Structure 1
Amino acid sequence: MTLQVYKLILVGGSSVGKSSVLLKFSENKFSHNVETTVGAAFTNKTVEVDNHEIRLQIWDTAGQERYHALTLMYFRGAQGAIVIYDITDQNSFEMAKEWIREIRERSPQRTKIVLLGNKIDREERAIPTETGRKLANEKNLLFFESSAKTGEGINKVFYELAKAIRHDLDENTSLSESETESESFELTKKTKKNVEGSGCC
């Protein structure tokens, strides 16, 4: 069976923990000294979803405003996006709303989006869980909270996103096949009718 490849992008403001989230997921490591992403960083990881192996091609994009135009280039062809905000930073939550809008405008219509509140290991919370969940419900997004430091919630984010993408692709493939069969049936009926109705000259 062919290995499926899903392109995912991580977006969000600077210092919300995008690189730390990816490092925890890909290598199960955490560092207080993660370097600021310049442009974008790339990681592959293969996971098993519903007994199928799927390679996640994950792009960690820069959060600084000066790299904004470059970040938008990575939206192309993305099947999934994780929009990350820092639960201790109100401004990062407002920026997340803008990233959601950007993704909806510039990415394929069926791009699955996760809204992720990061840094739940910290006590100084500014964004209640219900506030994040409400935004996700309004925008029809998946919603999770996580800690890149402890690892809480990290794996679930990527596995659930991969599962949502797979199910969406399966549904659209089935729909496409159904439409093709219907078109073929209608064409056959019309052809048969024309043949039966034709007479010799």
Structure 2
Amino acid sequence: MAFCTEEEKTEDYLFKIVLIGDSAVGKSNLLARFARDEFYPNSKSTIGVEFQTQKININGKEVKAQIWDTAGQERFRAVTSAYYRGAVGALIVYDISRRQTFESVGRWLNELHTHSDMNVVTILVGNKSDLKDAREVTTAEGKGLAEAQGLFFIETSALDSSNVASAFQTVVREIYNILSKKVIQSQEIKQKDPGWMGNGKTVVLQADENQEAADGQSKKGGCCSS
């Protein structure tokens, strides 16, 4: 859940973000590169769910991204599906050198929509862009799918760190922008209706149907590929 607390001297935001995709597409190494600038060439498959918290400064505000790395293996699906709840951002990762992982993106999108509680800001990530000679999925195909589904898009390499920070920052910044609009809207409601029963402390990132449609249109086709 995203929130801001007015009682604190500075506004703190906590965003839950999930990393999803087939096994061995490099989700754990993307997180390790982003959070600790580390890479593990012989990393083992994630068992269940792990998470890492990373601080990002946006417009002078401290944003804490709580990033959940989920297991890609089918046998862990029942365990990890519960962790979608409360997520406001998602990175759907595929391996550009394995077309099968790209073809699984639709299934991951369906799972995200089924188990998440909110309008989740989502970016499609084509990882392992360093494997140029082994590429099976073109950049154009990735962009095309992202545009068709109204997702952001980027290609990354956890190995050489290209675009890794940008992938996470794109999601966090978009969530922050949506939340800022919600804060402004709540302030406008209070100004128009002094009797509005808001507690003034918590703003939950939960779009109504009209807002979801508007956000979807403004987000569609957004790309930040290399």
Q: TM-score range by the shorter chain?
A: 0.7 to 0.9
CA drift at 1:173: 2.6
Contact 1:49 1:159 in 2 (8 A): no
CA drift at 1:179: 4.3
Matched, 1:118 2:96: no
> So what's the TM-score if we normalise by structure 2?
0.78
**Structure 2 counterpart of 1:53, from 57, 62, 78:** 62
Q: 1:60-106 CA deviation, whole Å, 9 max, x = no partner? A: 00000000111211100001010000001111011121111211222
The corresponding residue for 1:139 is: 149
Q: Gaps (5+ residues) in structure 2?
A: 1-9, 197-226
**Structure 2 counterpart of 1:69, from 75, 78, 83:** 78
CA drift at 1:180: 4.9
Q: 1:84-135 CA deviation, whole Å, 9 max, x = no partner? A: 0000111101112111121122213321011000000002111111111111
Report the Cα distance in structure 2 between the residues aligned to 1:6 and 1:94, rounded to whole angstroms.
28
Q: 1:135-194 CA deviation, whole Å, 9 max, x = no partner? A: 111111111100000000000011111100000111123234434545x28x9xxxxxxx
The corresponding residue for 2:95 is: 86
Matched, 1:170 2:180: yes
Specify the structure having the higher radius of gyration (Cα). 1
Report the Cα distance in structure 1 between the residues aligned to 2:117 and 2:167, rounded to whole angstroms.
20
RMSD of aligned Cα (Å): 1.7
AA in 2 matched with 1:37 = T
**Structure 1 counterpart of 2:11, from 2, 26, 29:** 2
**Structure 1 counterpart of 2:29, from 17, 20, 34:** 20
Q: How many residues align?
A: 186
Contact 1:78 1:111 in 2 (8 A): yes
Please, which moves more after superposition, 144-153 or 24-33?
Answer: 24-33
Report the Cα distance in structure 2 between the residues aligned to 1:4 and 1:150, rounded to whole angstroms.
30
Q: Gaps (5+ residues) in structure 1?
A: 188-201
Report the Cα distance in structure 2 between the residues aligned to 1:62 and 1:94, rounded to whole angstroms.
18
**Structure 2 counterpart of 1:129, from 139, 156, 161:** 139
Contact 2:129 2:155 in 1 (8 A): yes
Contact 1:8 1:78 in 2 (8 A): yes
Report the Cα distance in structure 2 between the residues aligned to 1:98 and 1:49, rounded to whole angstroms.
32
Report the Cα distance in structure 2 between the residues aligned to 1:99 and 1:50, rounded to whole angstroms.
32
AA in 2 matched with 1:162 = V
AA in 2 matched with 1:127 = V
